[in-house]
Amino acid sequence: MQFVKPCEGYITSLYSSARLDPVTNKGVRPHWGIDYGSATNNKIWAAASGYVRYIGWGHATAGNYIVIRHPNGWETAYLHLQTIAVSTKQYVSQSQYIGMKGSTGNSTGVHLHFEMSKGTWPGGYANHVNPALYIIDSTVKVVQDQLNRLGYQLVVDGLQGDRTTKAVMDYQKSRSLPVNGVADHLTRLKLTKEIAEREKPSPPIVLPIGKEEIMLELNQRQREELANVYQYARELGVFSSDEHEKEMREGKMTVSKAIYLNGLIAGAALADGKRIGG
C-alpha cells in the first residue's frame, strides 16, 4: 500500500527511540514518529484511504489528534492539530483534507507529528514503523540531490533513511552546523549557498586589446588549420565557446587576440604529454 506525505513542510524531527525531550531538554523521550514543520499551507490530508477510527480532543501530550485505519490493517496518527475536519467512522480518501497543523498538547510550536503503525495505534508502540522510510518526500529528494552534487553518493528516492540521515549529519559536522540529521533551515541555506558558489560559471575571457587593432592576415588553408586547433581546444575544455574558431574561419581574428589564444593553448597539455595542435 502506498502512503503519501500528509502535509507540506520539511521534516524537523526524526523517528528515534533516544531523542532528547524537546520541551524540557532533559532526559530521553522516544519520538515514535516524524515532525513536519509549519509551512505556508498548513493543511493536513490523509496519507492513505481508510476509516477514521478515533478522534482525540485536548490530550495532555498529543493534543487534538486523528487516527485512521487503512485497508491493509495499518494505522496512521496525526497529532497536535489545531482543527479537525472529519468525524469518527467517516471514510476518507487518500489526500483528502482532514485538519490543520497546530500546537496543541505537549508541543513547542506549530507542526504535525505523524506516526505509522502496522497494527492498532498506539498498541504500546510495538508495531510502530519509521514513516520516513515509507513516505516519499520531494523536499528530501532536493537535499539528497544537493548532497550528491557535493560528492556524496545517495539514492535520490525521497526517503529519509539511515544513509541520508548520516550524510546530513556528516555535512553538518564538517560545516560546524548543529548536528541533528535533519536538513533544517540553516543546513539548507548552507547547502544552497555552497552549491551556488561551486557551480558559478567561470568569468568570460577578457582579451587584452590595444588602441589600434590589426587584423590577422592568413590564407584560407591557414585559417582553417588554426580554426581546427581552436575547435580541438574547445573540445578539451580550454575554451568554452566556439566563437574563436568561427572568427578564424571568417577572417575576423585580430593579431592580439590570436596571440592571446595561442598562449592559452600552449599551456594546455594533454594527458599523453603532447600539445594541442601537435
Could you state, in order of their start, the residue ranges of all structural domains in the chain? 11-133, 138-184+193-198, 201-278
Domain 11-133 has CATH 2.70.70.10: yes
Spatial neighbors of 273 by CB under 8 A, at least 6 apart, are none
Local confidence pLDDT in tens for the 278 residues of the chain:
899 999 999 999 999 865 555 555 555 567 899 999 999 999 999 999 999 999 999 999 999 999 999 999 999 999 999 999 999 999 999 999 999 999 999 998 999 999 999 999 987 788 999 999 999 999 999 999 999 999 999 999 999 999 999 999 999 999 999 999 999 999 999 999 999 988 887 666 565 555 567 888 888 888 888 888 888 888 877 777 788 889 888 888 888 888 888 888 776 644 444 555 54
* Residues 32, 50: Cα–Cα separation, whole Å: 21
Say what the pLDDT of residue 271 is: 42
Helix (H) or strand (E) holding 124: none
Find the angle CA(85)-CA(55)-CA(62) to the nearest 5 degrees. 105
At 186 the pLDDT is 93
Which residues, 6 or more positions from 75, have their beta carbon under 8 angstroms from its beta carbon? 53, 67, 68, 69, 116, 117, 119, 120, 121
7 strand-pairing partners: 44
Measured CA distances, 26 to 107, 110, 113, 259 (Å) = 15, 21, 20, 70
Q: What is the pTM of this model?
A: 0.69
Alpha-carbon distance 233 to 262, whole Å? Answer: 10
Which grid coordinates belong to 275? Answer: 600539445
Residue with cell 503519501: 4
Instruction: Quote the pLDDT of residue 202.
Output: 63
What's the CA gap between 9 and 138, in Å, rounded?
A: 10
- At 191, give phi and psi (nearest 5°): -60, -50
pLDDT of residue 208: 57
Cα dist from 196 to 153, 247, 252, whole Å: 19, 32, 36
pLDDT at 126: 84
Question: What is the H or E stretch that residue 241 is in?
Answer: none
- The helix-helix angle for 185-198 and 162-174 (nearest 10°) equals 70
Q: What is the pLDDT of residue 28?
A: 53
| Cis upstream peptide for 122 (omega within 30°) | yes
